[in-house]
Amino acid sequence: MRIISGFLKGRKIEPPPGLGIRPTTDRAREALFNILGLGYRVQWQQISVLDLFCGSGAVSLEFISRGAKAVYSVEKNKRTIQFLETVKKNWNLSNWHIYCEDAEEFIEFFNTSLSLVFLDPPYQRVNKEKLIFRILNSNWLMPGGLVIVEHPTYEIFDTHPYFVEKRAYGYSTFSFFEKK
């Protein structure tokens, strides 16, 4: 995996084997960031992002590389966290805040104002619809804030009241929700 754009462009992310993570592919990540930059006209330097179930950290690092003012990454696997902390230190990334927590519990005590939440939960283990509602109804997601969920293409969220659009990339789909 590599960083697609920004000041970290071209750097490789090489998590140790055996972490049991399913990283967002380079192709899907590039498409996602093109959608955000062109379609949603995200002003990278003005956003704060929460990356739940961050796994390899590739999505978090892409936000950082493009200039996000703060990125909060949550992952409960301790070995993965050790890897992410090493990357943070070696790449001198002071605006990256990494938490070793259960993502569903983390959002209960999180209280920093955010403009975007990305979540890529284990495909079969999390009630995504419930989690989306909890995030969209939180006090810390700003009005107009986006929630982006990476999920299997067979899952459909089109009838969700906050649903905006979806984009499919093979087996994975990104669904977009906006806080009103």
Question: Residue 20: is its pLDDT beyond 80?
Answer: no
Tell me the C-alpha distance between 63 and 140, whole Å: 19
Extract the tokens encoding 133: 């509602």
Distance of CA 107 to the CA centre of its chain: 14
For domain 44-178, say whether CATH 3.40.50.150 is its number: yes
> Counting runs of H as helices and runs of E as strands, what totals does the chain give?
5, 7
Question: Residue 101: is its pLDDT beyond 90?
Answer: yes
With beta carbons less than 8 A apart as the criterion, state whether 150 and 117 touch.
no
Tell me the C-alpha distance between 107 and 151, whole Å: 19
**pLDDT tens sequence across 48-72:** 999 999 999 999 999 999 999 999 9
**Domain assignments of the chain as residue spans, ordered by start:** 44-178
Predicted local confidence at residue 114, as pLDDT: 95
pLDDT band at 25 (very low <50, low <70, confident <90, very high): confident
3-state secondary structure of 135: helix
**pLDDT tens sequence across 26-39:** 899 999 999 999 98
Tell me the C-alpha distance between 29 and 17, whole Å: 21
- Full-prediction pTM beyond 0.75? yes
Lowest mean pLDDT, pick from 17-26, 87-96, 97-106 = 17-26
Extract the tokens encoding 142: 């700003």
Give the other-Cβ count within 10 Å of 34's Cβ: 13
